[in-house]
């Protein structure tokens, strides 16, 4: 089974303008993301799927593969689906462009679940405290006994009715792996009611009755959304030079 990592890279960003091309200790954010994804050794191919020449130039400068979108897209999944016209792989992993420090074990574990032929899509989660679960920017997931997602929400789920406080909530990590056919089909489906309410595209998958296998990770990625996040990433590299 040929596996490819596709990194959707959108130039515009609201909280930190042009965040993917910001300097991160001598390389840009998108360069760091691309190189760390390659360095995991998990993938047969790694591509950046972008919408701007500056991102394209930066990825080419480090020897990377780039697909330049010809259309406007609402989501990263839509963007990488367009790139499949050029990418020949059976399993597609959507790696977030603003997470420059990819974890080898997490990605290995994610890809490994596809040895089960019934798995069509998979993603990651890690455990968080009830206090962290109260944050609507932290997307929570609840699982069935097979570790398939029952639901994703910005609300703290499940609701701890008795207030025991000893439940470990599960925070979703936005890295997705799809079988090629599912990704192509999923991106043609209209948004469902739940997706529009929560603003979570993975709910479109559940609304269509497709299961998402969830894989636990202990890795908590540094996602760069703000200037403070960028400085935190710079401090990390100062202490852990690559």
Same domain, 90 and 113: no
At 192-237, the pLDDT tens digits run: 999 999 999 999 999 999 999 999 999 988 889 899 999 999 999 9
Q: Residue 231 falls within a domain, yes or no?
A: no
Query: Do both 118 and 82 map to the same domain?
Result: no
Asked if residue 111 and residue 78 are part of one domain, the reply reads: no
Q: Do residues 111 and 88 share a domain?
A: no
Any idea which of 28-42, 57-71, 157-171, 179-193 has the lowest mean pLDDT? 157-171
Same domain, residue pair 51 and 6: yes
The answer to whether residue 43 sits within a structural domain is yes
Q: Can you give the residue range of the structural domain that contains 22?
A: 1-99
Same domain, 110 and 200: yes
Integer Cα distance of 24 and 33 in angstroms? 11
- CATH number of the domain that 148 lies in? 3.90.550.10
Same domain, 81 and 123: no
Taking alpha carbons only, the member of 151, 166, 137 closest to residue 204 is 151
Q: What is the pTM of this model?
A: 0.93
């Amino acid at each position: 089974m040929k596996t490819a990592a596709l990194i959707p890279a959108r130039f515009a960003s609201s909280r930190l303008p042009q965040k993917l091309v910001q300097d991160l200790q001598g390389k840009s954010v998108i360069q760091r993301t691309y190189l760390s994804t390659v360095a995991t050794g998990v993938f047969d191919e790694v591509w950046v799927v972008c919408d701007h020449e500056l991102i394209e130039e930066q990825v080419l400068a480090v020897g990377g593969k780039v697909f330049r979108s010809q259309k406007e897209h609402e989501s990263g999944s839509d963007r990488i689906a367009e790139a499949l016209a050029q990418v020949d792989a059976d399993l597609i992993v959507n790696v977030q462009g603003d997470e420059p420090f990819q974890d080898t074990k997490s990605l290995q574990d994610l890809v490994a679940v596809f040895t089960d032929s019934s798995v069509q899509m998979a993603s990651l989660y890690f455990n968080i405290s009830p206090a962290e679960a109260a944050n609507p920017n932290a997307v929570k997931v609840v699982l069935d006994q097979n570790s398939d997602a029952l639901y994703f929400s910005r609300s703290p789920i499940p609701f701890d009715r008795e207030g025991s406080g000893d439940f470990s909530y599960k925070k979703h990590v936005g890295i997705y792996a799809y079988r090629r056919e599912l990704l192509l089909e999923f991106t043609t489906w209209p948004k469902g009611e739940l997706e529009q309410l929560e603003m979570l595209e993975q709910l479109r998958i559940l609304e269509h009755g497709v299961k998402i296998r969830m894989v636990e990770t202990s890795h908590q990625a540094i996602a760069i959304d703000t200037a403070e996040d960028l400085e935190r990433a710079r401090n990390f590299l100062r202490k852990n030079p690559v």
